Structure 1
């Protein structure tokens, strides 16, 4: 059974309208029916003449039913290259969801319960989705290419083939995605963010979703021949979660999203066993893992995601089962600018830095062609000139970060390092004639923060050289 929402998915080649996804987050204690909220949001969207992509909508608070139940309405990513769309060119899909608390999870033990030893570690944790702890994670991940949209399109493609009951003997897919690349590039975060996004986008099909994170190291037992059994035991628990579709209508089936972190610790063992450098128990682990993956591939409500820093160490049989093998590289200069810009905008929003407009990537690329940044502290009353200089300095900083090969993880801690090492907490509100922020805090001039982050990047570079 295919829902109307499925038939309206992104496919601009066959439609004159662009699919626009609208995510509606309900308040924690809201009791309104999802379908009622969805109808009201559709009505509100019909009243708009043009919508920016992406954007957070305002004005819906004036609708009593929405104002009492809804917390946020977001217009999400769209395949349309334009920054905005008129109403007549939009095919709106509304996704209503109510996130659970961040600590809503359970754990699976790898113990069989019959052996009295200290080998009883947690094999996996299960998190109910959508989860408030993962809110905003998807938007915070910035990559040079269209990795996120590629993954979403892949999930939709598997749904289309599953709903059409395509013969697996003729057309096959395994529901396995492998992300690999250097540490700190956001592979694990992308898996969690995709799980959160799917729990929202597929809310019309499934009543709830789960993210199951496997602690792969716990699946190796100190007892010979036990490791393979641990894998089978864990996947038996996963299968029980997947089988929750029994007795439910298709659109109400739970969707477990199985996630294996750093999968090379499991699959690298088989290659070593083949050449006699790995004990046969490691071979049993990998064979058990591959067997369980094959059993799950025909289940339409399960997705296997894996991350690895060392893709060459992964068993080729596992790699061959991956429908998508995606390399996640260190961020480009443009992606770094977007990351640094998002960091700066956040501390501006929170009143730590005084209010100033930070140019978008497209704006700063144009400015770079005809301008050069200055590091001098600007007290100019010309806010436009000051904003331009901030963008140019931030773009120059992005160039330095790229030259050092900094990861997204390292980039997002620069504001903290800048404050701790080069600005000083006590200087906020007093240095350089800082202004008073609306929330009562004193925001320091943005130039002070740029000075601090530039020094932090320089210091990071020197520390990296000492490690070589």
Structure 2
């Protein structure tokens, strides 16, 4: 597995000043990569959390390393497909990247129409880890962006054939902008040895048009002229340009010609000209986001070398997003004991107590199948009062119901997907647990089952509101068109058939899970007989 690489990020403490990272970085990499130690690392862990294991890995260098490092995180595995998150130094090469977070922004006068930030920056710390997708879009983007910059330095005369423009498109709230910000942060760390300085330039196109209407084309041209000058002034500087909601200045010129949006047409022309001019530089990459792919100009789309859809999360990802918003992650610590290290979740912040863990999606599926505890849907004022205040005998509300936290969270995901509003964004999912607690908590403490109940109340209230709107709309249709009865009956029959199909799918899933568990039990019995 010689081609496999394990990336470890070493973040310096904010008050530590090191002129040369290279020596410390080389020492860390040498010690952590020694095959004779046969060290085992887990992706996602901070090695400094376990003093005993870190001292074993770093030996005599541990004391000095722990005095200057804020964290030593195992961040990514790149290599042949592997379902495990644990990797041995016997099978992977170890690469250590050392960095220090910037704490101040650049001068606003550099590009008044946007925001310029030195990277990596504390404002974007750990946002990458909070993003969850169904595919390895994060790994793909890091590899793509790294390759663009690496190859462009080697063959600068052929730069025109290597378009440095990546377009992320999809519904609002799916994490496109945050993904771009996190990507710029990761690449700034990954290529620290190649580029001494990294900058992120964020251009807010909606603000640009509203502030400089009738002068948009001039402002766009001025932005690209400034970026071009920055690239030429320092070839050891990496510039990442984020154009958020690019449809504001890259809308279809054909559509604009039929209306009166001449300012928008000129802005699109300036954008295309600027991309052609600055795109030839070897130290710049453009990241664009769009909520409306169909409205973009064809010439702009043609210049987008890479287009990646960012879709609304599937149920499995919805579960993981909710889970990561709530729970704390158990990790290795001193004396081999398990310790809960928070990932900005509500439990880590002490909003939900006591501390507890929620199983991953696959384990939650098994809980769901074998869970015999009935879950009561809450919607009435009486139910809400019981959740918030407990019963008349002073019992705590919704105490651990069998501790089947995964099964109940799966039911919440199922409840979300039954709503008539369609897809839910990752942003809404992330906010749901905290917003539910803020809205409905009336006591001094909140345990996990109470939080679940508040989430169910919020989801039901949205459903009730949607149903009321639907009924009112349906009544108006019937009054205005007596012939609509047949259509309503056909729609009802179609809905019934759809529900039957969903029930059959759920039954198939349950049978598959039961068969999987039964197979595991049979294998265990055979193994026991063999012994």
| TM-score category of the 2 structures, normalised to the smaller one | 0.7 to 0.9
Moved more, 344-353 or 361-370: 361-370
Instruction: Determine the structure 1 residue equivalent to 2:245.
Output: 262
Instruction: Determine the structure 1 residue equivalent to 2:365.
Output: 365
* TM-score, L = length of structure 1: 0.81
1:50 Cα deviation (Å)?
Answer: 1.0
Per-residue CA distance 1:338-359 (angstroms, 9 max, x = gap): 1111111112122222111211
1:272 aligned residue (245, 251, 255): 255
Moved more, 451-460 or 135-144: 451-460
Moved more, 44-53 or 71-80: 44-53
Q: Return the alpha-carbon distance in structure 2 between the equivalents of residues 99 and 148 of structure 1.
A: 21
Q: How many residues align?
A: 413
Q: Return the alpha-carbon distance in structure 2 between the equivalents of residues 77 and 337 of structure 1.
A: 22
1:68 and 2:86 aligned: no
Matches within 5 A, 1:114-153: 122-153=112-143
Matches within 5 A, 1:223-372: 226-246=215-235, 253-268=236-251, 270-274=253-257, 276-345=258-327, 346-353=345-352, 354-372=354-372
Q: Return the alpha-carbon distance in structure 2 between the equivalents of residues 287 and 17 of structure 1.
A: 44
Q: Return the alpha-carbon distance in structure 1 between the equivalents of residues 299 and 323 of structure 2.
A: 41
1:183 aligned residue (168, 172, 184): 172
Q: Return the alpha-carbon distance in structure 1 between the equivalents of residues 3 and 291 of structure 2.
A: 40
Per-residue CA distance 1:112-156 (angstroms, 9 max, x = gap): xxxxxxxxxx41110111111111100111111221112112113
Do 1:40 and 1:66's aligned partners in 2 also have CA atoms closer than 8 Å?
no
Moved more, 138-147 or 76-85: 76-85
User: Which structure has more helix as a fraction of its residues?
Assistant: 2
Per-residue CA distance 1:349-370 (angstroms, 9 max, x = gap): 2222211121112322333343
Per-residue CA distance 1:404-454 (angstroms, 9 max, x = gap): 422111111222222222222xx134xxxxxxxxxxxxxx32111111112
Q: Return the alpha-carbon distance in structure 2 between the equivalents of residues 155 and 141 of structure 1.
A: 18
Q: Return the alpha-carbon distance in structure 2 between the equivalents of residues 223 and 74 of structure 1.
A: 44
1:193 and 2:182 aligned: yes
Matches within 5 A, 1:4-23: 16-23=2-9
Do 1:108 and 1:125's aligned partners in 2 also have CA atoms closer than 8 Å?
no
Matches within 5 A, 1:419-438: 419-424=437-442, 427-429=443-445
Secondary structure at 1:347's aligned position in 2? coil
1:225 Cα deviation (Å)?
Answer: 6.6
1:57 Cα deviation (Å)?
Answer: 1.4
Secondary structure at 1:307's aligned position in 2? strand
Q: Return the alpha-carbon distance in structure 2 between the equivalents of residues 465 and 57 of structure 1.
A: 51
Q: Return the alpha-carbon distance in structure 2 between the equivalents of residues 85 and 56 of structure 1.
A: 14
Instruction: Determine the structure 1 residue equivalent to 2:199.
Output: 210
Q: Return the alpha-carbon distance in structure 2 between the equivalents of residues 459 and 188 of structure 1.
A: 30
Q: For residues 197 and 392 of structure 1, do their structure 2 counterparts lie closer, same or farther at Cα, with a shift above 3 Å needed?
A: same
Instruction: Determine the structure 2 residue equivalent to 1:114.
Output: none
1:375 Cα deviation (Å)?
Answer: 3.5
Secondary structure at 1:106's aligned position in 2? coil
1:453 aligned residue (452, 455, 458): 455
Gaps in structure 1 of 5+ consecutive residues: 1-14, 111-121, 247-252, 430-443
Q: For residues 37 and 400 of structure 1, do their structure 2 counterparts lie closer, same or farther at Cα, with a shift above 3 Å needed?
A: farther
Structural RMSD (CA): 2.6
Instruction: Determine the structure 2 residue equivalent to 1:39.
Output: 26
Secondary structure at 1:29's aligned position in 2? coil
Q: Return the alpha-carbon distance in structure 2 between the equivalents of residues 222 and 417 of structure 1.
A: 33
1:161 and 2:151 aligned: yes
Do 1:378 and 1:386's aligned partners in 2 also have CA atoms closer than 8 Å?
no
Q: For residues 319 and 283 of structure 1, do their structure 2 counterparts lie closer, same or farther at Cα, with a shift above 3 Å needed?
A: same
1:278 Cα deviation (Å)?
Answer: 3.5
1:371 Cα deviation (Å)?
Answer: 3.3
Instruction: Determine the structure 2 residue equivalent to 1:97.
Output: 99
Instruction: Determine the structure 1 residue equivalent to 2:414.
Output: 399
Q: For residues 221 and 448 of structure 1, do their structure 2 counterparts lie closer, same or farther at Cα, with a shift above 3 Å needed?
A: closer
